[in-house]
Amino acid sequence: MALRIACDLDGTLADMEAALQREAERLFGPGVSLRGVKIPAVEESAGIEDPAGDPARVQSAPATVTNGERAGLTSKQMRRLWRHALRVEDFWHTLSETEPGSVARLAALASKHRWDVLFLTQRPGSAGRTAQLQSQRWLEAHGFGLPSVYVMTGSRGRVADALALDVVIDDRLENCLDVVTDSRARAILVWRDTRAALPANAARLGIELVFSMTEALTLLEKTTRTDKPAGIVDRLRAAIGL
């Protein structure tokens, strides 16, 4: 039976951090940096109203540079950044791949091994096309034809359980915890932080840890080969003890 795989988009396949860095520099100036900063999920930031009014009409304060180092963002600036980004026409289509070629490789392996692949995202709507359509066109542009994209809310584990998924690939620990808690699916965590920040309890909780999408795909292909149904010759050999 073909593997039923769900794959996250932002941080896993799509480089949302680089896109937000680009928009942060447009909004706050070149002195700002998101490198090393934990970016809150868009649903945690984008829907909060700014008491200052319409961000498009507000003059944003430039980022402060100290001792030549680029500054991070305050929580208020991060909320403003999200609102600004979601006003960009087809923002979700402007992202680059986190690992160039990974989408096309996933498509090729899915075709080779007859995987059923679903892409999960919690992207809110931006200016332009719907988040689902932008995501579909982005995947097609990077080599995955006719992608199935589900714009979801809530627990990914419950989605995995409802759809009887075998594997969920994600770059957020909390999403992987949802998967192992609420479903029977395997959770593969693509860890993009430093090795020093590795979650020590991930393996104990049953989460499989990799450091790139390339490594995740290699793991899935190895699993597929291991689980491949035996052919008639293999079954005859097993029956006679060979």
Q: Write b or e for each residue in 134-143: b if 16 or more Cβ atoms lie within 10 A of its Cβ, otherwise e.
A: bbbbbbeebe
pLDDT of residue 240: 58
Q: In terms of domains, do 47 and 156 share one? A: no
Q: In terms of domains, do 202 and 126 share one? A: yes
CA–CA separation, 14 and 28 (whole Å): 23
Q: In terms of domains, do 114 and 23 share one? A: no
Please give the angle made by the CA atoms of 5, 181 and 211, to the nearest 5 degrees.
Answer: 55
pLDDT in tens, 86-145: 999 999 999 999 999 999 999 999 999 999 999 999 999 999 999 999 999 999 999 999
Using the 8-state DSSP alphabet, how is residue 197 labeled?
G
Q: Once rounded to an integer, what is the mean pLDDT over residues 161-166?
A: 97
Q: In terms of domains, do 108 and 215 share one? A: yes
In this structure, of 62-71, 85-94, 182-191, the range with the lowest mean pLDDT score is 62-71
Total structural domains within the chain: 2
Of residues 51 and 11, the one with the higher pLDDT is 11
Q: In terms of domains, do 86 and 98 share one? A: no
Q: In terms of domains, do 57 and 71 share one? A: yes
Q: In terms of domains, do 104 and 216 share one? A: yes
pLDDT of residue 47: 53
Is 48 a residue whose pLDDT tops 80?
no
Is 7 a residue whose pLDDT tops 90?
yes
Q: In terms of domains, do 23 and 109 share one? A: no
Whose tokens are 């600004």? That residue is: 84
Query: E strands, the chain, where?
Result: 4-8, 116-121, 149-151, 167-170, 186-190, 207-210
Q: Once rounded to an integer, what is the mean pLDDT over residues 39-63?
A: 48
CA–CA separation, 7 and 116 (whole Å): 11
Q: In terms of domains, do 106 and 209 share one? A: yes
Tokens of 26: 């447009």
pTM of the model: 0.83
Using the 8-state DSSP alphabet, how is residue 96 labeled?
P
Is 147 a residue whose pLDDT tops 80?
yes
Is 56 a residue whose pLDDT tops 70?
no
Around Cβ 208, how many Cβ atoms within 10 Å?
Answer: 17
pLDDT of residue 81: 94
- Residue 74 to residues 8, 51, 52, 79, 169, Cα–Cα distance (Å): 27, 16, 15, 9, 30
- Residue 235 to residues 33, 85, 231, Cα–Cα distance (Å): 59, 57, 6
Q: In terms of domains, do 132 and 222 share one? A: yes
Is 66 a residue whose pLDDT tops 60?
no
> Given pLDDT bands bounded at 50, 70 and 90, which one contains residue 75?
confident
Average pLDDT, the chain: 84
Is 17 a residue whose pLDDT tops 90?
yes
3-state SS, residue 225: helix
CA–CA separation, 193 and 191 (whole Å): 6
Bridge partner list, 6: 118, 168
CA–CA separation, 181 and 213 (whole Å): 23
Q: Which domain holds residue 85?
A: 16-91
